[in-house]
Structure 1
């Protein structure tokens, strides 16, 4: 057999094809996708209607529970107007929080993948690092806020470090588990078909592990939003957490809900991008998205 594998067999890259699993037809996949999207839209609209009815007919107090219309109105009004008066427009606070999230998440993901890869590849490294990962993983990142403020002050650094601290353990564990759980049969099959050790690792092991790694990244993204909003509560003069805190002090419940709505939309959007990336990497799993 040849020692090189310039065009790895499709069966190696996609374990489902190797087992002969039948693919659903294109029409069937589109129909299922449309049905899911329809149910999602209906559920969202239904939740908004219930919210509106509860606010108008039962609560009847806009300070306690604003209506969806009032929430959207506050969002539109302050999108290009400062709040509080000495603050920044809502679009700027959204931009600041998003940049903090992306930078901290990217740094934490890169570090987590590297550490997880080393733990999966070299057992002594796993034995050395695993106790520290297991020790820090249950700790809430918010517990580090006072310490980070002492170390780094009130600038951007403590916020980004806080996000990074929350992301690293999740991505590390998911990466190590994903690489370790790749079936040995796939690796043996690749070697039997002429793949070198490097090609087996790149084309088979890493590619098979990527979907599970991205799932870990999706979980870490949720932790990132929790961390940044809490950090902006404590030490920030801009950001969605800062706006929500200021709105709460002045009983602007509609603006609080507007800030939460923006966080939800951004979180769903970033998660959708990660799911899209996963579907591109794992075409056989698209029907499960």
Structure 2
């Protein structure tokens, strides 16, 4: 899947002058620069490229001092509580490398992708390692979307422990919504990692549970809209806002609104009632909305369409 037919892609570069005072770690020529991406693409296909929404997410999870976010990825109160973060489809690992710079020895970062991509992830994270990286807090593991054995193995090894279970606080996805045949497996994985044992087993309906952060660049609405129509049935979600304190007006706007192409970061949480719904076995049924709202009829959510309409009309915050 990382080498689709007629693959013809080039390395990406960070959008110049789009965000002020962005730290140079994102532009590490040695690990994530043009030459490194070119080599990664040759060996790992699409997983070796830094996709555009990854730059946006990397800023959000470890922002420069001039950018304020609503909601922020980390709050002052969360800095005193251990975070357990899982990234799906990590690819070259740039976002995880940025998160790693903020980890404490009490936090845990689980970086995942297909088994054949894990060597790239491990190599890049090792190359980025500095004295601030708590090495024991970072785990690279295989997780193919929709593959329950991979998810079970991660939970059994890293979360279920003799001294008490640990649950996820965040799940991150960066530029993962593209191939139509992968939309249902991606949604299935998101449902898996926001359900017990990844989320609280006490009563997941009584808390916000795992926070899902999705960075997304719109490329083909007709191909990608079915994901959002099904996703919104199981999750509530809203866009992240940003304020640049170094600019004159200092107004809030949607983060990604200044990009040439529509780009978003969404914050999502499971609908509390969805924990009681039966997740369909067949991918076609899952994408058609069957099982959601506790019935087997096909259905769709229009949250994404509404947000996109506001974007195109220029009426967003």
Using the size of structure 1 for normalisation, the TM-score is 0.25
Q: Which structure: greater strand fraction?
A: 2
State which structure, 1 or 2, has the greater radius of gyration over its C-alpha atoms. 1
Q: Which has the higher contact order (CA 8 A, sep 6+)?
A: 1
